[in-house]
Every structure is written in C-alpha cells, then in structure tokens.
Amino acid sequence: GENVGLHLPTLSVQEGDNSIINCAYSNSASDYFIWYKQESGKGPQFIIDIRSNMDKRQGQRVTVLLNKTVKHLSLQIAATQPGDSAVYFCAENSGGSNYKLTFGKGTLLTVNP
C-alpha cells in the first residue's frame, strides 16, 4: 500500500504487505529528518532518522528514503504487522541542533489482519 503526499492521510494495508508512507517537506535548508510512530494515547516514538548527506537508511523492517531534489521523504515498512497500526509523522530540522523539529500532519496506518 502507498499514499501520496499529505492529501491522503490514511493508509490501509493487509497484514504481511509492505507499507510506504510518504512525506513532502518545504524547507530546502532542512538537513535532518526523523520518522515517529504515535499510538493512541501515547507520545511519539522514534523509528528512524536520516541526515541529508544520505539518501537511504535501513533499520529493522523499516527503510527511510530521502530525495532532496524533490524534497520528499518516505518510510517503508516491510511485512506490516497489526502492531504497526498507528499515526506516522515525519519531522524535519535545520540549523545544527536537533530540538526544533517541524512535524508533518501525519498518516494513519491501519493494518488489517
């Protein structure tokens, strides 16, 4: 399953499928990007980050791709599980310190068993 930009804030996939969540950013000076997962009633949980000198970074079952040319970021989740159901936020930062993050509006991922 795949969503395009922030115009489709929900994504529904079948358990076991791969998920792709997209994020467009506007600040060309942004040089640090983070994906967070937020479950209902909880705080954002760090998933993976990437610096602008990279275009791909892999974690456990997750991959983040960065395309600076078109200012686009994506999160790929392999073999999506019901426990992956949550809202996913991309966040960007510029300026050398990490505290002033700009968050996107989020994408709700629903995994159907």
Partner 1 sequence: NAGVMQNPRHLVRRRGQEARLRCSPVKGHSHVYWYRQLPEEGLKFMVYLQKENIIDESGMPKERFSAEFPKEGPSILRIQQVVRGDSAAYFCASSPATGQGRSPLHFGNGTRLTVT
Per CB under 8 A, residues contacting partner 1 are 32, 34, 41-46, 49, 51, 89, 91, 96-106
SS3 call for 68: coil
Closest CA to 88 of 105, 113, 64: 105
Least CB distance from residue 55 to partner 1, whole Å? 17
Residue 84 vs 92, nearer CB to partner 1? 92
Residue 12 vs 14, nearer CB to partner 1? 12
Residue 26 vs 97, nearer CB to partner 1? 97
Contact call for residues 51 and 73 (beta carbons, < 8 A)? no
- Calpha distance 51→57 (Å, rounded): 9
Q: How many CB atoms lie within 10 A of CB 31?
A: 16
Least CB distance from residue 113 to partner 1, whole Å? 25
Least CB distance from residue 77 to partner 1, whole Å? 18
